[in-house]
Amino acid sequence: MTGPYKIPRSVLVVIHTPDLQVLLMERVPWPGFWQSVTGSVDYEDEPFYETAVREVAEETGLDATKYELTDWGIENRFEIFKNWRSRYAPGVTHNVEHVFGLMVPEPLPIRCSPTEHYGYIWLPWREAADKCFSWSNRDAILMLPERMAARAKSAS
């Protein structure tokens, strides 16, 4: 690998509508690998919120600051796939992922980054969870009904 190593801290941003339609994108170069927005911090002190806003813009073309971006206060630690470890410093085997939700008013058209995603789909939350390759992405999507119920309760 040339250039700096990836930092093993990242974000997962579940983009969804109020009626729990969830955006998934198919990864390049892994056909059939569907996921929400993900991405690593660019520098050690980059706040996760800034990383989330940047990654949403890069991967979807959406401006997350125009919608409801919520830090869920959840961190997942997982082993980095062996075939991706060369991107990280020698000896780095695990990543810490910080979870966000981004609520948009309806399924919006997305501008996928052609180097990252083949395309996208909006699915009902259960179908989206079933389609995810990543356990952390699946688990975050499965939390949506509870998170929306808590949001509604706090608003009343």
Token pair of 154 as six digits: 């706090």
Give domain status of residue 88, yes or no.
Answer: yes
Residue 4, domain member (yes or no) = no
Confidence category of residue 1, pLDDT binned at 50, 70, 90: very low
Q: What is the pTM of this model?
A: 0.91
Q: Does residue 68 sit within a domain?
A: yes
Query: Look-up: residue for tokens 């980095």?
Result: 80
Q: From CA 71, how far away is CA 147, in angstroms rounded?
A: 11
| pLDDT tens digits for range 109-118 | 999 988 889 9
76-103 tens-digit pLDDT: 898 777 887 888 788 887 888 999 999 9
Q: What share of the chain is helix, strand, coil (3-state, %, to 5)?
A: 30, 35, 35
Residue matched to tokens 């810490």: 96
Is 3 contained in some domain? no
Tally of domains in the chain: 1
Could you tell me the CATH number of the domain that includes residue 21?
3.90.79.10
